[in-house]
Amino acid sequence: MRIPPGILIALVLIAPAGAAGRGTTHTVIIEGVQFSPSELIVHPGERITWVNKDPFPHTATAANKVFDSGSIAADASWSYTVTKQGDIEYSCTFHPTMKGKIKVQ
């Protein structure tokens, strides 16, 4: 089925504002006892996946308790979908010097 160009433009213009972030996934690599990138800018509805490439476990634990991955084993991953705007600082409970920040806009 072919959609006329004028109709297609109208559909794009009336799409819900929150639809842009849905389906987007950001990846944070855990390697060398650090989060990379250490800071992300995301939108509500977007997913963040932490991938542990170190040979030992880590966590991604929010200071405000909004998420806690629990132990992420070597070569494993964990994901979280952000729901609200604001800044989220997080760290690894096993290695407190590992810190990251998520800015949800």
Residues 48-57 pLDDT 10s: 999 999 999 9
Q: Which segments of the chain have a pLDDT < 50?
A: 1, 3, 6-20
**pLDDT at position 19, please?**
46
Q: How far apart are CA 34 and CA 9, in angstroms?
A: 44
CA atoms within 13 A on the CB side of 81: 7
**pLDDT at position 10, please?**
36
Q: How far apart are CA 78 and CA 24, in angstroms?
A: 15
Q: Give the number of domains in the chain.
A: 1
68 is in which domain, residue-wise? 21-104
Is the CB of residue 59 less than 8 Å from the CB of residue 82?
no
Distance between alpha carbon 77 and the CA centroid of its chain, in Å?
12
Using the 8-state DSSP alphabet, how is residue 22 labeled?
Answer: T
- Please report which residue ranges of the chain form alpha helices under DSSP H: 5-13
| Residue 35 placed within a domain | yes
CATH number at residue 52: 2.60.40.420
Residue 96's SS3 state is coil
| Residue 88 placed within a domain | yes
| Residue 10 placed within a domain | no
**pLDDT at position 71, please?**
98
* This prediction's pTM: 0.79
CA atoms within 13 A on the CB side of 39: 2
| Residue 93 placed within a domain | yes
**pLDDT at position 72, please?**
98
Q: How far apart are CA 101 and CA 1, in angstroms?
A: 45
**pLDDT at position 9, please?**
36
